[in-house]
Amino acid sequence: MVDTHLHFDHCGGNTFTAPDDDEQRVQAVFPNARYVAHRREVDYAQSANERTQASYLAHNYEPIAEAGLLELLSGPSDIVPGISVFPTPGHTPHHQSVLVRSGAEAACFMADVIPTMAHLPLPWIMGYDVEPLVTLESKRRLLTRAARENWLLVSTHDPVHAFGRVEFDGATVEFTPLEGAAGVSD
């Protein structure tokens, strides 16, 4: 399990409380899995302030760590052959995106650095981002590489176009949705 960051909508599926558990213990959904997150994202989540604390719910990640299932990363990392993470800070200071490779193909799960395909243009940045100018540069690097290497981009929040490819000239983004790969609204 790769946690791109520790906001509740991205790691809330890490844990659950069994309905028949009298002690109401929060447990890992996949007790035999390895969960990975950026080391400094965990630190950031644990020291959340008034602006960020509503997004971080300790029961989503602390039981994973306490069970010894959480592997902490410190930067670009290979998770298993063909799956890696790389830093895309801005939404949170230690946000990371996931790159999946198979042969000559690659798909990038952008998470909240580009939460929907409507956010592809460089200046379109969410109000939730704690470092919007850092997001801008993360997007620029990601889009440059995605266009150059012809990545399939995967949105974790877009209800219409969850998958597609881009052309990017350093300023303007041209998006082409993947045919037959509509979002949840179709």
How many H helices and E strands in the chain?
Answer: 4, 11
Please give the pLDDT value at position 21.
67
73 contacts 82 by C-beta, under 8 angstroms: no
CA distance 178 to 3: 25
- Among residues 32, 36, 31, 40, the alpha carbon closest in space to that of 1 is found at 36
For 44, 69, 77, 129, 147, the CA distances from 168, given in Å and listed in that order, are: 32, 39, 26, 23, 6
Reading the chain (186 residues) residue by residue, the pLDDT tens digits are: 999 999 999 999 999 987 776 777 899 999 999 999 999 999 999 999 999 999 999 999 999 999 999 999 999 999 999 999 999 999 999 999 999 999 999 999 999 999 999 999 999 999 999 999 999 999 999 999 999 999 999 999 999 999 999 999 999 999 999 876 555 443
Please give the pLDDT value at position 186.
37
CA distance 170 to 186: 32
Residue 55 has what DSSP assignment? G
**Domains of the chain and any CATH numbers:** 1-74 (no CATH), 77-186 (3.60.15.10)
